[in-house]
Amino acid sequence: MNEARGIERTVEAIYRAESRRVLATLIRLLSDFDLAEEALHDAFAAASERWRRDGAPANPRAWLVSAGRFKAIDRLRRRARFDASLTELAERLDAENQDAAMREAEEIEDDRLRLIFTCCHPSLPPDAQLALTLREVCGLTTEEIARAFLTAAPTLAQRIVRAKTRIRDAKIPYEVPARTDLPDRLDSVLHTIYLVFNEGYSASSGASLTRHDLSGEAIRLGRLLVELLPEPEAIGLLALMLLQESRRPARTSPSGELVLLADQDRTLWDRKQIEEGTALLERALFSRRFGPYTLQAAIAAVHANAPDTGATDWGEIAGLYDILLQADPSPVIALNRAAAIAMRDGPAAGLALIDAIFARGELLDYHLAHSARADFCRRLGRTADARASYLQALSLTRQEPERRFIERRLAELGE
């Protein structure tokens, strides 16, 4: 009984660690997302049964890929009784994949990168690129992605189905583009990796402030991308993610409560990540061909290398945001710039900038904008305005630690 339970725990651990890698290889071998997902689950079901009898293999990943491939071929042959065209497909897959097992361990890392380039193909709408990447590359459930998008789960599911159909019907190749085409495809991949990281760095909903599995996955994908294509912005994005991730241990209290930057215990920051991120930033800056991700990394480096909030060079940060806003004139960047200027020039200056953003009709549904406005009003002694903005932020917040933080701020303001 204990041995069987041990195998079950082994299978569960391998599923958590390897399932997305196995899926990526199965998609390459089978050229079909849905068939590969069925094969993945069949392979793990077979592992639970076979490993209990024979013990876990020396190379579980290769075993699972091989099992999944043959399970898929069996499925196709069973279905061929109703659709004769599937017989030819099953025979072709069987012939093509006879020698695949020996290559799988060597190619599996590239398979993850192939998959993300497929999911981020420019013929897919941006929201479909992100949804498909989160579903297939990162393994989030449809419900989790729907919450992240603040979208109904059936709507999100249809978005993913349409993306898969588009890939199949347009015969979008499951491959990393040729090096000559790669830079043109890079922007959508970088954007998707960054959005995956953001969901891990600050979860859009749920009980936890962060999701280390997602931020870790984004960093891993960023490393693969830099290895494949060491373009300055790919390097800059990896630097940004490492510098931001270095602060994760200090961003929540032991009980899971949100800790603001000014109150964080900086001895908890990961110095190795800061050193690596800073070195990558210098490498990207030295190229003189950098863009918004590198500029954001430069801002993160100013924070990471300051011993405390009081020693932070807010003038440099505000100046970097001025440049960043020109390169990426988005309302979220404008909001972050307002926060930096508030630290440099006082809360009234920041409040004026946020009110200007709202006057343009931007960020009205973004809880962090209302939280920032509330904080500026609180610091200015405008209690009624602060309370109103905190209540608006609370109505828009879906993450429990942030909700509790706002509720504490409201309690501090009193009636």
Place of tokens 């936890």: 208
CA distances (Å), origin 222, targets 29, 165, 190, 231: 24, 27, 8, 11
The pTM is what? 0.78
Q: Is 312 helix (H, G, I), strand (E, B) or coil?
A: coil
Give the Cα separation of 413 and 182 in Å (integer): 53
Residue 276 exposed, middle or buried by CB count within 10 Å (0-12, 13-18, 19+): middle
Residue 365 exposed, middle or buried by CB count within 10 Å (0-12, 13-18, 19+): exposed
Q: What are the domain boundaries of the chain?
A: 1-98
Which pLDDT score is estimated for 52?
87
Which pLDDT score is estimated for 174?
85
Beta-sheet strands, E only, within 9-167: none
Which pLDDT score is estimated for 102?
46
Which pLDDT score is estimated for 88?
58
Using alpha carbons, select from 344, 342, 322 the residue that is nearest to residue 334. Answer: 322
Phi, psi dihedrals of residue 328, rounded to the nearest 5°: -140, 80
User: DSSP for 178-217?
Assistant: PTTTHHHHHHHHHHHHHHHHHHHHS-SEES-S--HHHHHH
Angle 63-68-70 from CA coordinates, rounded to 5°: 100
Evaluate whether 126 touches 188 at the Cβ level (below 8 Å): yes
Evaluate whether 160 touches 131 at the Cβ level (below 8 Å): yes
pLDDT per residue rounded down to tens, the chain (415 residues)? 556 677 788 889 999 888 988 999 999 888 889 999 999 999 999 999 999 888 888 889 889 998 998 888 888 887 766 555 555 555 555 555 555 544 544 454 568 888 888 999 988 998 899 889 888 988 888 887 887 666 789 999 999 999 999 998 998 888 888 877 777 788 889 988 998 899 888 887 778 888 888 898 899 889 988 987 889 999 999 999 999 999 999 999 999 999 999 999 999 999 999 999 999 999 999 998 889 999 999 999 999 999 988 899 999 999 999 999 999 999 999 999 999 999 999 999 999 999 999 999 999 999 999 999 999 999 999 999 999 999 999 999 988 999 999 999 999 998 6
Which pLDDT score is estimated for 92?
57
Q: What percent of the chain has pLDDT over 90?
A: 54
